[in-house]
Structure 1
Amino acid sequence: MTDDDHLRETTVSSEQVYRGRLLDVRCDTVRLPNGRTATREYVVHPGAVMVVPMLEDGRLVIERQYRHPLQRVMLEFPAGKIDEGEPGFTCAVRELAEETGYRAREWAQAGVLHNAIGYSNEGIEIWFARGLTLGERGLDDGEFLDVSTATLEELLERARHGELTDAKTLIALLWLQNWQAGRWPLSWFAPT
């Protein structure tokens, strides 16, 4: 890595311009590397998790859920917001069970993705789950989604045709392909 000081901006002031149940919108004044000032608008987000649930036969558990900002039903892996003070792994276990009904015997964390670096600090932890057993779902009030399964090849084909466009799900497919090819290792563990 190189020294990045010549690229860094320094926050001079920060103002909260909107606070909702999910979003915290800020407008900062920053000092640029050349000494001038500029404004930066962005969303502060508590973080989220996404789970790649893998069945014994190789199929993947996926969801179809309406996403209002896009005004369409999206195909994606189970995901959800991390509650205040909640560890990411705890959130992953909770979201998998709530949304799909599945519980996992083994887990592995792949990493974190930042899906909107130009306007949000949101980080999404990527979790893999296997050794699945099906139980009862516990959807949140007002949450509606369909759960199904697909093979990696089917999901890649849907992505190729523009039917699967969710960034976090696409990143998860990249991780899955590289893990299966032996290029990107995962450290599996069984929760106690």
Structure 2
Amino acid sequence: MNLNEKTIHTESIYKGAIIDLEVHDVELPDGTTSKRELVFHNGAVAVCPVTADNKVILVKQFRKPAEKPLLEIPAGKLEKGEARISAAKRELEEETGYIADDLDLIAEMYGSPGFSNEKISIYLANELKSGQMNLDDDEFIELEYYDLNEIEKMLKNQYFEDAKTIIALQHLILNYNDYN
């Protein structure tokens, strides 16, 4: 069966600095039509940094859609034309003050493919060196450090609510010996 949906008409609702919103009229595989509300995003990167003494560095920051602070791996948006690995290295240093020469790709994922095309590349970073934190003017974060036992307990207790963080930390716990 052909599952593709053909776009018949597109209406641009909003063009912003981070996202664009559109409504598409689509023809479904059975010939009927429907509407799709879509969010277009340039993409994002995230990094799971692990220090030499096996501490995972997480950032705590207020997330307006959730209306509370969340504990996450460092992450940020991809600038137009920017290579994903370069963006990951940039975001790691900006948010944590650490530099990693080599990053291992853990996964690439769509967080909400039912309405958004945002693709997130998730990396693991170890062999960290000191760099320079450089937060955006509207970015306020706290760094927190957790050992792997704490991370494992937090995962089991469903402490984390952010999908990219859960994926990265589960990967780290399951594959830790492969990185040492």
TM score, norm. by length of structure 2: 0.93
Match of 1:125 in 2: 121
2:174 aligns with one of 168, 171, 178: 178
When the two chains are superposed, the root-mean-square deviation of aligned CA atoms in Å is 1.6
Distance 1:95 1:158 in 2: 24
Match of 2:23 in 1: 27
Match of 2:39 in 1: 43
- Using the TM superposition, name which of 118-127 and 170-179 deviates more: 170-179
Distance 1:178 1:161 in 2: 17
Match of 2:144 in 1: 148
* Count of residue pairs brought into register by the alignment: 179
Secondary structure in 1 matching 2:128: strand
Runs of 4+ in 1 over 4 A off after TM superposition: none
Letter of the structure 2 residue corresponding to residue 132 of structure 1: L
> How many percent identity over aligned positions?
37
Q: How does 1:162-173 map to 2 (within 5 A)?
A: 162-173=158-169
Distance 1:11 1:60 in 2: 44
Shift of 1:12: 1.3
Distance 1:150 1:178 in 2: 16
Match of 1:190 in 2: none
2:157 aligned with 1:161:
yes
Give unmatched runs, 5+ long, in structure 1: 187-192
TM score, norm. by length of structure 1: 0.87
Distance 2:174 2:29 in 1: 38
Give unmatched runs, 5+ long, in structure 2: none
Letter of the structure 1 residue corresponding to residue 5 of structure 2: E
Distance 1:155 1:165 in 2: 13
